[in-house]
Amino acid sequence: EASTYWRAETTWRAFFGCIIASFTAKHLSALVNCPDPFDCYTVRAYLEAPPGERSFRVWEIFVCALIGIFFGLLGALFCAGVKFIQSRRRAWFHLFSMGQDRRRAWRVVEVIIVIVMTIFLSFGLSWAFFNDCKAASPDAIVTDEGIAGAMCDEGQNGGSVNPLAALLVSSRDDAIRFLFSPYMGASEYSAGVLILAAVVIFVLTLLTYGLAIPMGLFIPNIMIGACIGRLIGIWMHPIGGSVSSYAVV
């Protein structure tokens, strides 16, 4: 995330490092879990098929391929947006100037403006959905505890939860856990909430990237992908798709 230039050599080292780590972990697991270690040194021990209850349908492969194409185009749009915004930043803040006219103070002002914008969007949109709170279902992972429940008339153990606040205002760990949840309770996200959350996170990430304060891309990328993936999972659920699986994809 912090690199401005990622060499191909680093990519190959990371790739082979993952292979070695995976092989080593599998090897040690076989030695620990097998009564007879010699029975574990088979092709089957290293190429395990998933159990029957985790099988998939052939048509889901094409859906996943379309999801990959869509996110590839979305990534290209993000890169084009970053290039456009950075060109404006270079011109306005004189980033390549070696003199005293680099406008460093204005870069701090930019950070403050983006922070205020993030707060207003996250909390303002969540409050806008104050009247759209849903009952917290016992089988759903989204509960009425925390700020997602506080933004409701009957939240905080009162039985209601704000689905948009659970994504935009809750901690990123909780939001990702909510999106990856396999349950389909009454307090699950609607299509409109997922689309709105994905657009807000995409725009805020686009504005935040390149600020004077370092910001990451890993968590926002996961959240955008999980929002859109879960949206597709909701559409595919009536014909047998798994909501949480598409969120992970």
Q: What residues does 135 pair with on adjacent strands?
A: 160
For the ranges 65-79, 161-175, 223-237, the lowest mean pLDDT is seen at 161-175
Residue-wise pLDDT tens digits, 73-107: 999 999 999 899 888 888 777 766 665 556 777 88
Q: What is the mean pLDDT of the chain?
A: 76
Return the structure tokens found at 128.
Answer: 């806008």
Distance CA 136, CA 168 (A): 18
Which residue has better confidence, 243 or 16? Answer: 16
pTM, two decimal places:
0.70
Domain ranges of the chain: 1-43, 62-248
In this model, does residue 49 exceed pLDDT 50?
A: no
Q: Where residue 27 falls among pLDDT bands split at 50, 70, 90?
A: confident
Segment 137-183, tens digit of pLDDT: 665 566 556 666 666 765 445 567 777 887 888 778 778 887 887 76
Task: Return d(Cα 182, Cα 243) in angstroms, integer.
Answer: 6
CA distance 167 to 169: 6
**Residues 215 and 224: beta-carbon distance below 8 Å:** no
pLDDT at 40: 57
Cα distances from 35 to residues 49, 126, 163, 188, 237, in angstroms, run 21, 55, 48, 44, 41
Amino acid identity, position 218: F
**Quick one: average pLDDT of 229-236?**
85
Q: Which residue has the higher pLDDT, 193 or 149?
A: 193
Q: Rounded CA gap, 62 and 121, in Å?
A: 35
Task: Please name the helix (run of DSSP H) or strand (run of DSSP E) that holds residue 123, with its range, or none.
Answer: helix 104-128
pLDDT of residue 69: 92
Strands 134-135 and 160-161 come out as antiparallel
- Is the per-residue pLDDT at 52 higher than 70? no
Rounded percentage of the chain residues whose pLDDT exceeds 70:
68
Kindly report the number of other CB atoms within 10 A of residue 112's CB atom. 9
The answer to whether residues 184 and 243 touch, using CB atoms and an 8 Å cutoff, is: yes
94: number of Cβ within 10 Å: 16
Cα separation, 125 vs 200, in Å, equals 10
pLDDT at residue 140 in the model: 58
